[in-house]
């Protein structure tokens, strides 16, 4: 495993649409491992492949309940709304208020190429929406209500 460099706002790779993963190769699995390691190192709860410069439809999420790998993910159902603070590893030190669905059901493939469905509420629903937006070149700032504000991270 290796840490990858997290691309930040201004890098054009963050504005592009990612390509579907046709085959889960050792290289894809290595990328997944690297993305998880990079996310944990940065104390993030999610990371999308374009954030490490790879235009492929893959995200990793861990809201504290263990790692989730989503290959070619798709949101298939949403309901309700939640409004709260959101940040992004590609815009360090900032956060802003974003309204998202409070419930999300998504479909994706795991590391074995098996399709699965995942349901999430609150933070998990927010993380799924946020990360999947990255795969289409979108970032949360497009949805922010009001101004971004500075965040001070606690060193844990």
Footprint of Zn ion (CB under 5 A): 88
Q: Is 130 annotated among the ligand-binding residues?
A: yes
Q: Which residues of 59-86 are buried (b: 16+ CB within 10 A; e: fewer)?
A: bbbbbeeeebbbbbbeeeebeeebeeeb
In three-state secondary structure terms, 39 is: helix
In three-state secondary structure terms, 133 is: helix
How many Cα atoms within 13 Å fall on the side-chain side of residue 92?
Answer: 9
Q: Which of 23, 119, 131, 142 is catalytic?
A: 131
Report, in Å, the least distance between residue 107 CB and Zn ion. 21
| Closer by beta carbon to Zn ion, 28 or else 128 | 128
| Closer by beta carbon to Zn ion, 49 or else 88 | 88
Report, in Å, the least distance between residue 152 CB and Zn ion. 19
* 86 is a catalytic site residue: no
Q: Is 88 annotated among the ligand-binding residues?
A: yes
Q: How far apart are CA 19 and CA 33, in angstroms?
A: 19
Q: Is 149 annotated among the ligand-binding residues?
A: no
| Closer by beta carbon to Zn ion, 28 or else 49 | 49
Any idea which residues carry the catalytic annotation?
131
Residues tagged in the binding site annotation for Fe cation: 88, 130, 134
């Amino acid at each position: 495993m290796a840490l990858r460099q997290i691309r930040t706002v201004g890098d054009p790779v963050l504005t592009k649409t990612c390509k579907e993963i046709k085959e889960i190769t050792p290289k894809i699995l290595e990328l997944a491992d690297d993305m998880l390691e990079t996310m944990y190192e940065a104390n993030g709860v999610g990371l999308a492949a374009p954030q490490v410069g790879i235009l492929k439809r893959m995200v990793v999420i861990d809201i504290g309940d263990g790692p989730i790998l989503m290959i070619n993910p798709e949101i298939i159902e949403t309901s309700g709304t939640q409004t709260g603070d959101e940040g992004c590893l590609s815009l360090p030190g900032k956060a802003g208020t974003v309204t998202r669905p409070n419930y999300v059901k998504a479909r994706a493939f795991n590391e074995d190429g098996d399709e699965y469905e995942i349901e999430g509420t609150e933070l998990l629903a927010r993380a799924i929406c946020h990360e999947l937006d990255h795969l289409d070149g979108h970032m949360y700032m497009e949805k922010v209500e009001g101004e971004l504000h500075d965040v001070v991270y606690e060193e844990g």
